[in-house]
Homo-oligomer: A and B are copies of this chain.
Amino acid sequence: MRLSRYFLPVLKETPSEAQIVSHRYMLRAGMIKQSSAGIYSWLPLGFKVLRKLENIVHEEQVRAGHVPMLMPTLQSADLWRESGRYDDYGEEMLRITDRHGRDMLYGPTNEEMITDVFRSNVSSYKDLPLTLYHIQWKFRDEVRPRFGVMRGREFLMKDGYTFDLTKDDALHAYNRHLVSYLRTYERMGLQAIPMRADGGPIGGDYTHEFLVLAETGESEVFYDSAVTDLKFGDRDIDFDDKAQCQGILEEFTSKYARTDETHDEALFNAVPEERRRTARGIEVGQIFYFGTKYSEAMGATVQGPDGKPVPVEMGSHGIGVSRLLGAIIEASHDDKGIIWPEGVTPFHVGIVNLKQGDEEADAACEAIEKSIEALGLEPLYDDRKERAGGKFATMDLIGLPWRITVGPRGLKNGVVELTSRRTGESEELSPEAAVQKIAEIYANHRVSGL
């Protein structure tokens, strides 16, 4: 992509309404524009990252054997009356009346609707296990939306629903989600720690939140520092293997890690003192086993092996896709701007032409651009007639992890400069060697694009 043909409205000034760094940088880097309170347009750079996150979530869910579908944003109030949540939900639910006076709502979550899909189509235990998920826009009418996309009103979320015959199977589905989420976050360059969460009115141990450590997190968290040493890495997972998935759950949840909601001072004090940590965290996902709460209320039963009807065991499992952008930036930035992890960067490498209009420099930039595109990667070539300082500032702000700088002086010696956004370190290389290095860096960070 040529910057002269892109739409990247970066701001020099820090917008006054933004209280946290991710919100500031998303506005300044031209990623989002607020259209009304808590509702944002995703400008091209922001949309590109959002779509990558969405694709990573899809890839990892499909890998785990979960089946993608798509439920609509608007729902009928009648479904929510069946579960009893229509009256319970309170003012965060956006209630709507259509032209015929029917009560509708903008879905904040989809347990009722997926239970309706299930009960209309599945009648035998032979069709289980089944996990259906979707990634769709949802709405919660927050009384005070803030922190940009971190606590917006219209937000993109992946929510998956599991249907099983037995509690044992349902807990395997729970574990499968935990494993797939660990992979998902790590691909995004995030360390998201599963922490025991509050079961709410249902209770039980079967819910974990995933938290990213960041100073601006909304939750206070308490953990054994040994949890931050755990890496998911490149494991070969058989998602049908109950023991393997259970083993990973135990590995990642046996160390103390809780939010203030579930914090237990006595248990925490049992952690060796030098490993006790207190910090703040951003919630980026939650998994939840809730048994037959919705299947019983809404009559979602299957015929069991003995011919008798059994209400299905269910769970729901969510990832806050749009809020992940904020979380990633909170966890990865410096005072010049964003630093995208390679797995989610909107463009793989920036190309800065120090002397636009110089025949040799222009030709070298175009050749590098073509070579990178030929690798199946996306460069962003700053081909504007701007000062070098301005070009560098823009590249630093938008946070591409690698930059190739091309100028007449270097070209005389046959070199360009390859710079790491994270370390700031540069090396001089031939253009071919720089492209080769980019190819190596991204060999393990492939996400299908649009």
Contact = CB atoms under 8 A, between A and B. Distances in A.
A388 interface: no
Contacts of A70: 41-42, 47, 50
5 contacts: A7-B67, A39-B72, A39-B76, A72-B137, A73-B137
A69 B98 contact: no
A58 interface: yes
Contacts of A214: none
Q: Which of A6, A74, A132 has the most CB of B within 10 A?
A: A74
Given A44-B132, A47-B68, A73-B73, 15 more contacts: A7-B69, A7-B121, A9-B121, A33-B120, A36-B76, A39-B74, A41-B72, A42-B71, A44-B69, A55-B450, A68-B450, A72-B154, A91-B99, A94-B96, A96-B106
A113 interface: yes
B69 A41 contact: yes
Contact of A116 (B9, B35, B94): B35
Interface of A: 5-7, 9, 30, 33, 35-37, 39-44, 46-48, 50-51, 55, 58-59, 62, 65, 67-76, 79, 91-92, 94, 96, 98-99, 102, 104, 106, 113, 116-117, 120-122, 130, 132, 134, 137, 139, 141, 143, 153-154, 448-450
Contacts of A102: 36-37
Contacts of A154: 72-74
A70 B58 CA distance: 19
A357 to B, nearest CB: 15
B72 A35 contact: yes
Given A62-B450, A450-B59, A42 B30 contact: no
Contacts of A42: 69-71
Interface of chain A: mostly helix, strand, loop or mixed: mixed
The 7 closest A-B pairs by CB, nearest first: A9-B121, A36-B76, A42-B70, A58-B450, A47-B70, A41-B71, A99-B141
Contacts of A47: 68-70, 134
A180 to B, nearest CB: 15
A43 B117 contact: yes
B9 A122 contact: yes
Contacts of A132: 7, 44
A375 to B, nearest CB: 16
B35 A98 contact: no
Nearest to A385: B126
Contacts of A7: 67, 69, 121, 130, 132
A423 to B, nearest CB: 31
Contacts of A30: 121
A292 to B, nearest CB: 20
Nearest to A449: B448
A46 B132 CA distance: 14
Nearest to A155: B72
B69 A117 contact: no
A236 B102 CA distance: 51
Contacts of A36: 74-76, 102, 104
A189 to B, nearest CB: 21
